[in-house]
A and B are shown apart, each in its own frame.
Chain A
Amino acid sequence: MQSHRLAFRAMGSPCELQLFGADPRETEAIGARARADVLRLEQTYSRYREDSLTSAINRAAAAAGTIEVDPETAALLDYAHTCYRESGGLFDITSGLLRRAWRFDSGRLPEPGEIAPLLARIGWDKVVWERPRLSFGVPGMEIDFGGIGKEYAADRAAALCADAGLHHGLVNLGGDIRVIGPQPDGAPWRVGLQDPLRPETLLGGVLLTGGAIASSGDYARCLVIDGKRYGHILDPRTGWPARGLAAVSVIAATCVVAGSLSTIAMLKGRDGIPWLGALGVPHLWVDVDGRQGGSGVFADLLEARRASFRAAAPARSAESD
C-alpha cells in the first residue's frame, strides 16, 4: 500500500489529500481528479471570481432578478434552505453583505447607520426558491456559499476517491476534514485540533475512522477593540457578531453537516451548547471566557487534558472546570 500526498491551495486555504492505494500511479491519478474537482467547485462558487456562477447569481440578485440554476447548485440551495429553516433563520446565505460594514482588517467597528440599510437587503425569506429558479425580492441582495462550499468540496473529494476504489485516505480542505476509512493498518486517523484561544498550540487530537470533522470559530479572523472580541460570524438578524462562543467543532458523517452544525452553534451563542448536546453529535465548544466542554471523543480529549494539567501543575487544577 503506497501513500500519496498532495498539497495545494484552494478556497483561500491550504488543502491536503493523503491517499493510500495499491497502485501508486493510479492513486496519483485519483488524487489529481479529486484536486481538479475541488478547483472546479472553487471556480464555480467563488464570490471573488467574476466568471463564477455565484457572481452570475449575484448579478441577478443586484437587479432583484431571477436566475435558473443547474442541479448541483439547486441541491446546494436546497441544503442552504434546510439550514436556514432548521436554524430558525440564523444560517443565511444572504448575510454575506454584512462584510461591507465589518472589515476585519480595518481595526474599527462599523459606522452607526451602516448596518441597518444592509439588513433590509438580507434574508433568505426575501428570496423565492422554486427549483430550478431563484428569484430575489429586493434589489441589491447577494448570496455566497461560504458556509457550505468548502465542506461540500471535501465530501465530494472523499467520495470521488472512495468511488475510484480507495479505502484509506484523508481530505483536509483548510481544516474541514473528511476521512475515507481508517489508516491502511486499521488504526484511526488522528486529527489535531487548534486551540481557538492560543492558535499556535494544539488542543489535542481526536481519532476518526470515518466521517468528518469541521470547525467554526472566530480565532481566524476577529476584531479586538478595547479588549472586546468581535468575531467574523455575523448574526443576520442583528448584523452584529454572534456572541458567547469562540469556537465549535463537530463530528458528523459528512463534512457539510459537521460544518453547518458548528456554524449554527456559533450563531446561537451560549444557547448553542445545549442545542449541540440535544443533537447528540460529538462536539467541542470553547466560549469567549476560555471555558470548554463537549461530548463524545471530545469529552475524552478534554478529560485527558485536564488529567495531564493536574499531573503537570497540581496547583492550577482548580482553574479548569
Chain B
Amino acid sequence: MAVTDHGLPGRTLTALTGAALALPGLVPDSQAATPTERQWDVGYFYYEEGDDRMRVESLKQSLVLPLGDQLDLTLNGVRDSISGASPIYNLPEIRCRDGSVITPPVISVSGASGTTAAGGPRPERPALNAGDCRIDGARQVMLDGTFQDVRTAGDFKLNYYRGETTLGFGAGLSREKDYDSNFMSLDWRQELNDKLSTLTLGYGLASDTFTPLNKTNFSEDKESHQFLLGLTQVLGKNDLLQTNLTFGYDQGYLTDPYKNVYLLSTNAAVEEVRPDARRQWNLLTRYVHYFDGPKAALHLDYRYSMSDWGIDAHTLETFWIQPLGQGWQLVPRLRYYSQGEADFYRSYFESLPANGHYSSDYRLAGFGAISGGLKLTKQVTDQARLDLGVEFYDRQSDYGLQGHADSDFADYGFTIYSLSLNLKF
C-alpha cells in the first residue's frame, strides 16, 4: 500500500468522515432514517403561457411536524387561480392557387363556445378535390378567455420510521368548480446493505369526478392506480444510481369534455372521445455524481414512458447544483422531451373513425419540447432559506423524434417564476 497523493483538504475531510461513518455503532440507528426537523414552506408561483393564453397563480404552503421519535407529519395546502384561454379544436386551413387562405365553416360546436378567426368563417368551403385548393396546416380555435377557476387542494403525509424501514401513508383532496379529486398513497422504504441500497415500493390511488361546466346534469368518474418499484444504490463516495419503475392504470372517464375535434365531412366540431382505460409504463434512471473540486453535484435523468394509447416518450434532463459559498446556491437545469402521438390523435378528422376514439388535443400530438431553468437559493440564517426560480418551456412540433403529423400550429411556450421561503423552527 503506497502512500498516495493526499490531495485536496476537502477530500481529506470527506474521506475521513466517510470512513468514520462506516464504523459500527457510530451513527445512531435512528439517525439514518428519522423524523425531519420542524419546518414551514411557503411559495408563490406564477405560470404564464405565451400569446396571452393560460395564466396560473399559485400559493403553496407546507408544514412538516415531527411527532416524537418515529413519526413525522407533513401537511400541504395549495390554491391555484387559473385564467386565460385554451385551445378547443383545430380548424384546417385551405390554401388555393389564387393565394386565398380559407378556413372551412363551422356549423356547430359542442360544449363551450369557440371563437374563430376575425371576419368569421366563410359560408362555403371550396372543393378540395378539384386541384385548385388543398388543406395546408391548421389553426387552433380557442376557448374564450373568460375561462376562470380556482383550485384548492390539501393533503397530509405521515411517515413512520423504524430502524432501516420507513412507512408512509398519505391522503388528500383537491376541489375545482368542475373537478374533484380524492387521493391516497402508501409507500414502504427499506434501507439495505449497510444503507448503501434503498428499496422503495409504493401505491397511489386517485378517485376523481368531472362535472364539466358546459354540460348540465353530467358527472363522470375516473379512477387511477399507480404502482412504484424503486431502487437507489450508492456506488461510491461520490456516485449514486437510482431507477424507478412505475405502472399506472387509469379507468373511467378519461375524455376532456372541453376538447372537440373538427370533422371535415360535416363541417362540425364534435366532442372528443378517448378510450376508457389507459395503461402506462414509466422507467426513470437517475445518476448523480458529486464533484469534490467545485463541491457540486450533477444529476442526469433519463425517463422512458409508453402507454397503450400509443404515446411513447423520452425525457432527458440534467441539472447542476453549485454551492457558491456564504449560503448561496445556483441550480441550472435543462430538459429535452419528445413524445409520439396517440393512436387516435389527428389535427382534424375527415369523418368519425370507426373505432370510436378520436381527439385533437395538442397534448396527445407528437412533439418535442426544450425547457430549462435557473434556481437561486440563499440560506439566510440557519433557520431560513429563500429560493428564487425562473423556468421556460418551448414546445415545437419539429423537436419531436418520433414520426408524427405536423402540429406546429399548436406550438407554444410558457414561463414559470417562483419565490419561496423555507423556515426551520
Known: A81-B1, A85-B4. A254 touches B17 (CB 8 A): yes
B residues within 8 A CB of A152? 23, 26
Which of the segments B5-13, B129-137, B274-282, B336-344 contacts the partner chain?
A: B5-13
Quick check: A79 and B24 within 8 Å, CB to CB?
no
Whether, in the assembled complex, A75 has its beta carbon less than 8 Å from a beta carbon of chain B, the answer is: yes
Whether A254 lies near B20 (C-beta < 8 A) is yes
Residues of A contacting B353 in the complex (Cβ-Cβ under 8 angstroms): none
Quick one: which of B3, B9, B31 contacts A85, CB cutoff 8 A? B3
29 residue pairs bridging A and B, Cβ less than 8 Å apart:
A71-B24, A72-B24, A78-B19, A78-B22, A79-B20, A79-B22, A85-B6, A85-B15, A86-B11, A86-B15, A86-B16, A87-B6, A88-B3, A125-B1, A128-B1, A155-B20, A156-B25, A156-B26, A159-B25, A165-B69, A252-B17, A254-B17, A254-B26, A260-B16, A261-B13, A275-B9, A279-B10, A279-B13, A281-B13
List B115-158 residues whose CB lies under 8 Å from chain A: none
In the complex, A211 Cα to B15 Cα: how many Å?
A: 18
Majority SS of interface residues in chain A? helix
What distance in Å separates the Cβ of B371 from its nearest Cβ neighbour in chain A?
36
Encode A285-296 as 1/0 by CB contact (under 8 A) with B.
Answer: 000000000000
With A75-B23, A85-B3 known as contacts, the answer to whether A163 contacts B16 (CB < 8 A) is no
List of A residues within 8 angstroms of B10 by Cβ: 278-280
Contact B23 A86 (CB under 8 A): no
The answer to whether residues A79 and B23 also contact, given A86-B6, A125-B2, A163-B28 and a CB cut-off of 8 A, is yes
Measured CB to CB, the closest approach of chain A to B324, in angstroms, equals: 15
B176 contacts A by Cβ under 8 Å: no
Check A160 for interface membership: any CB of B closer than 8 A.
yes
Kindly state the interface size class of chain A when it binds its partner: 35 or more
Say yes or no: is A119 at the interface (Cβ < 8 Å to chain B): no
Please tell me if the beta carbons of B20 and A256 are within 8 angstroms of each other in the complex: yes
- 8 A Cβ contacts from A90-134 to B: 124-125, 127-129
Report Cα–Cα, A99/B110, bound state, in Å. 95
Q: How far is the CB of A265 from chain B (nearest CB, A)?
A: 11
Closest A residue to B6 using CB positions: A88
Query: Across the two chains, which residue of chain B brings its CB closest to A92?
Result: B3
At the interface, yes or no: B238 with Cβ under 8 Å from chain A?
A: no
Decide if A257 touches B28 in the complex (CB within 8 Å): no
Specify which chain B residues have a CB less than 8 angstroms from the CB of A87 in the assembled complex: 6
Determine if B20 and A257 form an interchain contact, defined as CB atoms under 8 angstroms apart. Answer: yes
Question: Closest CB-CB distance, B250 to chain A, in whole Å?
Answer: 45
Q: Is the CB of A79 within 8 A of B19?
A: yes
Please tell me if the beta carbons of B26 and A155 are within 8 angstroms of each other in the complex. yes
Indicate whether B196 reaches chain A with its CB closer than 8 angstroms. no
Inter-subunit contact A83/B16 (CB<8 Å): yes
**Which A residues lie at the B interface, using CB under 8 A?**
37, 71-72, 75-76, 78-79, 81-89, 124-125, 127-129, 152, 155-156, 158-160, 162-163, 165, 252-254, 256-257, 260-261, 275, 278-281
Q: Does B30 contact A (CB under 8 A)?
A: yes
Could you tell me the distance between the alpha carbons of A201 and B69 in the complex, rounded to whole angstroms? Answer: 41
Does B29 reach chain A (CB closer than 8 Å)? yes
A residues in contact with B29, CB < 8 Å? 163
Interface residue? B27 (CB, 8 A): yes
A87 to B16, CA, bound (A): 10
Interface residues of B in 349-379 (CB under 8 A from A): none
Contact A253/B17 with A75-B23, A88-B3, A152-B23 known, Cβ cut-off 8 Å: yes
Chain B residues within 8 Å of A252, by CB = 17
Chain B neighbourhood of A279, CB < 8 A: 9-10, 12-13
Shortest C-beta distance, A281 to chain B (Å), equals: 7
List, in ascending order, chain A residues with CB within 8 A of B21's CB: 254
| Bound form: Cα–Cα A72–B24 in Å | 6
CB proximity of A235 to chain B, nearest CB, Å:
14
Knowing A78-B19, A79-B19, A260-B16 are in contact, say whether A124-B1 is a contact too (CB < 8 A).
yes
> What chain B residues lie within 8 Å of A37 (beta carbons)?
25
Q: Which residues of A contact B19 (CB under 8 A)?
A: 78-79, 81-83
Contacts of B12 in A (CB 8 A): 86, 279
Give B24 Cβ to nearest chain A Cβ, in Å: 5
CB nearest neighbor in B for A167: B69
Q: Give the CA-CA distance A152 to B25 in the complex, in Å.
A: 9
**Chain B hits for A83, CB < 8 A:** 16, 19
Contact B30 A163 (CB under 8 A): yes
Nearest to A78 among chain B residues (CB) is: B19
- Inter-chain CA distance A2–B126, complex, in Å, is 93
Is the beta-carbon distance between A76 and B23 smaller than 8 angstroms? Answer: yes
CB–CB B23/A256 < 8 A:
yes
Residues of A within 8 A of B23 (CB): 72, 75-76, 79, 152, 155-156, 256
Task: Say how far B214's CB is from chain A's closest CB, in angstroms.
Answer: 58
Q: Is the CB of A278 within 8 A of B9?
A: yes
**Cα–Cα distance between A165 and B29 once the two chains are bound (Å):** 11
Complex-state Cα separation, A81 to B2, whole angstroms: 11
CA distance A19 to B336 in the complex (A): 55
> In the complex, which residue of chain A has the Cβ closest to the Cβ of B16?
A257
A280 / chain B contacts, CB cutoff of 8 Å: 9-10, 13
* Chain B residues with CB below 8 A from A82, complex form: 15-16, 18-19
Min CB distance B201 to A, Å, is 26
